[in-house]
Amino acid sequence: MSPRSRKVWRSATLLLAFGAWAGARSAAAQTSGEAPFRPEYTIEVKAFPDEQRLEGHELLSWTNQSKDDVFDLWFHLYWNGFANNRSTHLTESKGSLRGTKLSDEWGWQEITGLRIDSGDSLAKLEWMAPDDGNAQDRTVFRVKLPQPLLKGQTVSVEIDWKARIPRVRRRTGQKDDFLFMAQWFPKLGVYETGNGWNCHQFHANTEFFADFGTYDVTIDLPQRYADHIGASGVELLPEQRAGDRVRARFLAPSLTDRALAGADGRAPLVHDFAWTADPRYVKYEDTFHWADWAQRFEADVSSTGLALGRGTSELAGRDVHVTVLLHPEHADQGLRHFDAASTSLFFYGLWWGTYPYEQLTVVDPAWGGGAAGGMEYPTLFTAGSRVWTLPTQRTPESVTVHECGHQFWYGLVGNNEFEAGWMDEGFNTFGQSEAMARRYGLNPVTTNYGPKPFDAARQLQPAGGGLADWFALREGPTLAGVKWTPLRSSALLDFWRDQPLESFGRLRDDPRAENRNGYLADPDSDPIDRAGWLYVDGTSYRTNSYRRTATVLRTLLGLVGEEKFQRAMRFYSERWRYRHPYPDDFFADFQESLGIDLKWFFEDAFRSEATIDWSVDVSQRREAQDEGWFPDAQGVWKHADEPEKKTEERGWIPEVVVRRKGEFCLPLPLELTFEGGEKETLVWSREEQLRQAWWKPLAGRAPGEKKLVSAVLDPSQRYWIDLDLSNNSWHDERDRQTPLRWSERALAQAACVLHWFAGIGG
């Protein structure tokens, strides 16, 4: 069977099994006993920014560690996704990159020389489209080997290529003198025993997948870039200058890192290499000291050690030199970038294993190059900021914590981002919000007027079209086919419209709640476990890969408890460091580490569109007085109106009804509180929920002396997937303060509207 046929067969099998390509793999593909593949790259690249081009020479050594005979090699050429509007990437994104239409800002890569074991193989190059069959896509090629590569044998590949640097649009490219070079070289795919080459096309909703190895990269640039170059790994020698050029050589991992094996005996490796340069860069350098942070967050260290059964010394990480490459307008934010990166190095290292490299580089993209921001590469990542940012605002902290967190999820645990991007994006989003909450507390909600943020939440504006827009002079008649718009939105106009600022109110959000809010945007279009290009649209991809996965993980934590959750996640992360887990591996390891069966949870949470909305409703009354005729102790019938049958007040009969809408069933606690503070907790089991969609927990119970004052579902908020939390509680006493607060807000909004109408359109 050809590699192409094998991939088509594999896709069809998974589609039949899951209804879509879920990206699941047999554990046999990368078993714990299989030696990891280790490509070794030596690359020399010469950049000509003024001409938007690169020239590169690559030497690759690869040893077949599989149980198969290998007949070919498959490579990625990601930049060809930007070559024309017929590429798979631009076809799926409808001709735009991050919402920006391309004009003459294309990029491409061309192989000019290809030698395998010193034999010329350029004529054997074949373009492949394993995912969609797009004959015009040039992001994947293969080359047949002169002879089969047997287990344990090594092949040497020499590649010459040239490239046109794209305008910065998606994670890579050039903006004036700013260069951010990612996915810039011919990169080998991943070979999987029994599955062949895993080498997907570059899709609009996918990232990357590569084997862990080593890189030795020499970068040649014009002289103006001297001392302003950053890259994965560590610079081996001081820059060499010759004429009008400068050369810098980097090793990833560094020689020091390669000599340091972890407790499991494995030395650090990396799965990619990226570099950047800009004559305008300003450097901020500092060192992350583990001991300082461990002392500062002693309680977190203690609780993690207790969960893992390890002492403080066993949890200790290494100190890391951090370099922040900033642009002059953000130069005063160096400390903020460093602190945010340190937040990830500490908390992620505490929870999931220490960061194993000596260096970390944080890149602040140039103005106009923001599309390169918010992306991760080994020992280097891009962040993103703004000129005006409040001390309380989480810019640049939020994106920095997230992208630094990717040093762990996909950086160290190298899942297949094409087929199961949620295994890094979702895990990392979960870790980001947990780390942010511990380090920075609640997030402020700000209102922006142009570049200037205000620490305030904006009130509602006159809207709805029709007369509101006419009175606000935001819409006029259509003349000669053109709509007349007197006042377009602008920072000054918006500021004028929103006066008086006193009508604003401060608002703070829990970053963990923000995950749930994002999940609610699209909770059921697709299952989480789906290949990135098979989600119905970009919204579904983003929701499932980021926020929904984080929300499900937080629910899983609530289900099993924090200690067990930490233990299971650490077990998984340590087992798969420098290797490639798939969803089934995560599911199996989580259960193995705890010795419990959670298959039902993983199937419902990750491989179905199941949702849940629990609700509780209560009505209660006193037991009715006796009416009619009743026999006494001697059997004599007496009317209830006779004095000896009269009673004072009877007991209370509460009727509690809990309902579920949806199929995601979890053991649901119900906390009942009676007069005097007495509490009772009941549980609606998963099995009972599957049998019927409602539950009357007090049915048949004798009347009680004390009145029920509240009924609350999931009182500890262990589960974050409930679609509507507003119906999860009932209280006998009316809340009289909240309506007043809402009335106050409504009056403030009305005042804002009247102020707007009182002006000349604003």
- Report how far residue 563's alpha carbon sits from residue 308's, in angstroms, rounded to the nearest whole number: 8
- Report how far residue 580's alpha carbon sits from residue 727's, in angstroms, rounded to the nearest whole number: 42
CATH of domain 1-30+429-443+511-608: 1.10.390.10
Rounded to whole angstroms, what are the CA distances from 449 to 260, 453, 497?
Answer: 50, 6, 11
635 pLDDT band (50/70/90 cuts)?
Answer: confident
- Identify the pLDDT of residue 501: 58
Rounded to whole angstroms, what are the CA distances from 145 to 38, 68, 123, 229?
Answer: 19, 14, 12, 37
DSSP state of 547: I
452 and 387 in contact (C-beta within 8 Å)?
A: no
Mean pLDDT of 6-26: 38
Q: Residue 252 has which token pair?
A: 């990833």
Task: In the chain, list all ranges with CATH 1.10.390.10.
Answer: 1-30+429-443+511-608
Closest-CA residue to 521 (of 542, 552, 549): 542
16 pLDDT band (50/70/90 cuts)?
Answer: very low
DSSP state of 548: I
Q: What is the pLDDT of residues 533-564, one digit of tens each?
A: 999 999 999 999 999 999 999 999 999 999 99
Q: Facing residues of 116 across strands?
A: 119, 157
Rounded to whole angstroms, what are the CA distances from 753 to 298, 457, 461, 470, 746?
Answer: 50, 16, 7, 14, 11
Q: What is the pLDDT of residues 113-169, one digit of tens each?
A: 999 998 999 999 999 999 999 999 999 999 999 999 999 999 999 999 999 999 998
- Report how far residue 546's alpha carbon sits from residue 424's, in angstroms, rounded to the nearest whole number: 9
Which one has a higher pLDDT value, 289 or 646? Answer: 289
- Identify the pLDDT of residue 752: 65
Q: Dmax of the chain from CA atoms?
A: 121
Q: What percent of the chain has pLDDT over 90?
A: 73
Q: How much of the chain is helix, strand and coil, in % rounded to 5?
A: 30, 30, 40
Cα torsion 156, 64, 412, 311: sign: negative
1 pLDDT band (50/70/90 cuts)?
Answer: very low
Mean pLDDT of 246-253: 97
**3-state DSSP call for residue 752?**
helix
Mean pLDDT of 249-268: 89
Mean pLDDT of 225-231: 97
**E strands, 426-571, where?**
443-444, 447-449, 452-454, 478-479, 482-483, 508-509
Listing DSSP states for 701-757 in one string gives: PPPBSS-EEEEEESTT-----BS-GGGSEEESS---HHHHHHHHHHHHHHHHHHHHH
Q: What is the mean pLDDT of the chain?
A: 88
Q: What is the pLDDT of residues 189-206, one digit of tens each?
A: 999 999 999 999 999 999
- Is the pLDDT reported for residue 648 higher than 70? no
DSSP state of 316: -
Q: What is the pLDDT of residues 391-446, one digit of tens each?
A: 888 999 999 999 999 999 999 999 999 999 999 999 999 999 999 999 999 988 88
465: left (phi over 0), alpha (psi -120 to 50) or beta: left
Q: What is the pLDDT of residues 281-324, one digit of tens each?
A: 999 999 999 999 999 999 999 999 999 999 999 999 999 999 99
- Is the pLDDT reported for residue 750 higher than 80? no
Mean pLDDT of 514-522: 93
Q: Facing residues of 75 across strands?
A: 141, 188
- Identify the pLDDT of residue 452: 85
487 pLDDT band (50/70/90 cuts)?
Answer: low
Indicate the pTM of the whole model: 0.89
- Is the pLDDT reported for residue 67 higher than 50? yes
- Is the pLDDT reported for residue 69 higher than 60? yes
CA-based R_g, the chain, Å: 31
Q: What percent of the chain has pLDDT over 70?
A: 86
61: Cβ contacts below 8 Å, ≥ 6 apart: 39, 40, 154, 155, 156, 157
